[in-house]
């Protein structure tokens, strides 16, 4: 599924920014106090993003979206990982307030 097809604008911005490795656009899609869990464990959002998305060139190949575009599944590929994952977004006022990711 192409990022342009994603129905939620904030989610689409995150996935597009990951594809382009665009830090500014990525962080702009999130609330400044965004929360994140990875496999159920709370993580410091910016530290996680730098390690999992930018330093390791992470990208999400979206296979499916559900829950009004707030739940994605797909293959996560980076220099560290290649695995099927889920990404659950909570969006408030047009920004991602919470992101839960995990292996499937």
Position 81 scores a pLDDT of 87
Is the pLDDT at 25 greater than 90, yes or no?
yes
Q: 38 to each of 82, 88, 94, how far by Cα in Å? A: 15, 11, 22
How does residue 13 score in pLDDT terms, banded at 50, 70 and 90?
very high
Q: What is the pTM of this model?
A: 0.95
Cα distances (angstroms) measured from residue 74 to each of 46, 59, 94: 22, 10, 23
CATH assignment, 3-103: 3.10.450.50
The domain spans of the chain are 3-103
* 91 CB neighbour count, 10 Å cutoff: 21
C-alpha 65/C-alpha 79 separation (Å) is 24
């Amino acid at each position: 599924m192409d990022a342009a097809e994603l129905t939620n604008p904030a989610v689409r911005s995150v996935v597009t920014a990951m594809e382009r490795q665009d830090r500014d656009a990525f962080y702009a899609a999130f609330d400044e106090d965004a929360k994140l869990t990875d496999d159920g464990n709370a993580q410091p959002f910016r530290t996680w993003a730098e390690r999992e998305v930018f330093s390791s060139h992470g990208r999400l190949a979206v296979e499916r979206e559900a829950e009004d575009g707030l739940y994605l599944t797909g293959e996560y590929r980076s220099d560290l990982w290649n695995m099927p994952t889920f990404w659950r977004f909570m969006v408030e006022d047009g920004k991602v307030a919470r992101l839960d990711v995990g292996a499937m």
